[in-house]
Chain A
Amino acid sequence: MDKVLSNKKAIIFFLFPASVMFIAIIIIPIIMSFYYSLQDWSGFGKGTFIGFSNYKGLISDSIFVKAAVNSLILAVASVFIQLPISLFLALVLSKGVRFEKGFVTIYFIPVIISTVVIGQLWMKIYNYDYGILNIILRSIGLETWAQEWLGDPRRALGATFIPILWQYIGYHMLLMYAGIKSISTDVFEAAVIDGSSWWNTSLKITIPMLKPVLNVSVIFAVTGALKVFDLVYVLTGGGPAHASEVIGTYMVSTIFKGNQYGYGSAMAIFVILECFVLSILVGFLFREREGE
């Protein structure tokens, strides 16, 4: 058996296609991105090597700083608004309500729908004259609350982030729900016998036992926020006046509209590093807490 399984030719045959794809389309491009990021390059002809100047440029570029801050705001909003909602839903559903499966199925629907569809749909929802948001506000007498949601620089960021948070509530809910379901029921039965209320059980038993899942959820929420592109691109394109700019949209416009290939690549590398560092930081925070 071992002899058959160590057949070198077969190993290469099985691994070759996936490895070639993976190396050529994922690994080499990351290296190339880093290489481009060290150049001043318009995308045509040859670039000039300028060391880390592009990275220094990022810090003094007020639009980039704004985009980076906006992405971080989204990360914070995901962790402190979206995840608590998801957690609450998961806790309630997993205690065994009627139509439990139905609710899970419904909450998950926005997750699978294309972000372009979600974006176009919310553009219509936010429409000043005919969007349902303003229609509802007007019909309940809050005429003055009806706003130009996406067109107003003061509101664009919040209005752009709401659909993003809305879309993935169901995703985190599902992860947490599955996590709670995998905790042995003995634990909960013991808590009930001891007279612990549902709320108390959730706080003292379920949530602490759910830590590994919460850790994953927080990492996904944070890195997802830092990488966000689709919904911002569709809803506002980063505007008006960069009010809702995030790194993803700014990078794409820098490269493909501004023809600053080197500078845009520095942003790509920045996102990779930022995701990497923050994932480690989140993991570290969760481990610290465990030690307490």
Chain B
Amino acid sequence: MMRNTAVRGSKNIAANILMYAALSIVAFIQLFPLYWMFTFSLKSNSEIFGRNPLGLPRQWLWSNYSDAFLGGNVGRYFLNSVIVTGVTIILTVIMSVMASYALTRMIFKIRKQMNSFFLLGLTVPLHSALLPIFIMLRNLKMVNSYWALIIPYTAFAIPMAILIFSGFMASLPKELEEAACIDGCSIYRIFFSIILPLMKPSIATVIIFTFLQAWNELMFAVVFISDVKYKTLTVGIQSLAGQYTTDWGPIGAGLMVATIPTLIIYAFMSKKVQDSLAVGAVKG
């Protein structure tokens, strides 16, 4: 928009150099820790602690990864994270897209109030529910199970998912539904075979958002899960770090394993990932 400012003489060239230097320094600060994590995940202690703390590994020590998987249980944690996150995503999408349909299209008295009621959930901090959910789980003998995480993760993802779905649904034309209605389609048919396929772009947004929330969540996971069998990556890595205090390689490998899925998703859909996290702010 102000591209012509660039051609205003040497003063601007200097300013430009300064600007790119500043941008690059910030980029360096944002990326360097991650680069460093990658390098020490493949180094031996003697490289990390002495000869070569900053450079690329001289000897690529893949055994750190096998140590993390075999000795540190990272495979188990990874699988648990996949299960918990996967089921959370499926439940969140189904429940929220259904609720959004009723909240944006259907006609009933308390629709507006219901909508604001769900949006209220966006502002609730996890803290406020931590202990009561723990007590519920304890009474139901569900502490240390996948459901102990899946249920609260889903509940806390629903408000944002409804916000995203409702916004998208409101932008869909009503003509298709009206035509289907004239043809005698039932409301369920209209929803499942007309609305649902049209919702695909927003479903992707909700999937990404829910993935990031569930994959990275710590507070619930720390409190509700103590059994190694059900630990997800976030709690698991905490145990891994406790287990390998002086051996940084396997810890680095564990950190990489927890991060790689997120980075892969980001590499392929960076715009979508950014949008899914910004949507709450733009509308809220």
Contact = CB atoms under 8 A, between A and B. Distances in A.
Partners in one complex: yes
A149 to B, nearest CB: 14
Contact of B151 (A25, A89, A113, A256): A25
Nearest to B114: A15
A229 B30 contact: no
B77 to A, nearest CB: 11
A240 B159 CA distance: 37
Interface in A265-292: 265, 267-269, 271-272, 275-276, 279
B4 interface: yes
Nearest to B50: A130
Interface in A171-208: 171, 174-175, 178, 185, 188-189, 192, 197-198, 201
B14 interface: no
B181 A1 contact: yes
A8 interface: yes
A171 to B, nearest CB: 7
B37 interface: yes
Interface string A71-96: 00000000000000100010011111
Interface extent on B, as a size class? 35 or more
A112 B2 contact: no
B108 A120 contact: no
A117 B104 CA distance: 39
Contacts of A43: 135
A279 B255 contact: no
Contact of B2 (A95, A120, A129): A95
A33 B129 CA distance: 7
Contact of A174 (B48, B178, B241, B278): B278
Contact of A26 (B156, B222, B248): B156
Contact of B20 (A97, A166, A234): A97
Interface string B105-136: 11110000010011001011111111111011
Given A14-B106, A192-B5, A21 B266 contact: no
B128 A256 contact: no
Contact of B132 (A32, A166, A175): A32
Contact of A113 (B19, B98, B128, B262): B262
B262 A275 contact: no
Contacts of A30: 124, 128-129, 132
A166 to B, nearest CB: 7
Contact of A114 (B105, B136, B216, B284): B216
Interface string B154-183: 111011001000000000000001100100
Contacts of A28: 132
Interface of B: 1-5, 19-20, 22-23, 26-27, 29-31, 33-34, 36-37, 40, 48-49, 53-54, 94-96, 98-99, 101-103, 105-108, 114, 117-118, 121, 123-133, 135-136, 151-152, 154-156, 158-159, 162, 177-178, 181, 186-188, 190-191, 212, 215-216, 218-219, 222-223, 233-234, 237-238, 241, 248, 251, 255, 258-259, 262-263, 266, 270, 273-274, 277-278, 281-282, 284
Given A216-B282, A220-B281, 7 more contacts: A1-B178, A4-B190, A105-B270, A114-B218, A116-B258, A121-B37, A251-B130
13 contacts: A5-B187, A7-B106, A18-B95, A95-B2, A97-B23, A112-B277, A114-B218, A116-B218, A132-B54, A175-B278, A192-B2, A264-B131, A271-B127
Interface of A: 1-2, 4-8, 10-11, 13-15, 17-19, 21-22, 24-26, 28-30, 32-33, 36, 43, 85, 89, 92-98, 103-118, 120-125, 129-130, 132, 135, 166, 169-171, 174-175, 178, 185, 188-189, 192, 197-198, 201, 213, 216-217, 220, 223, 226-227, 229-230, 233-234, 247-248, 251-252, 255-256, 261, 264-265, 267-269, 271-272, 275-276, 279
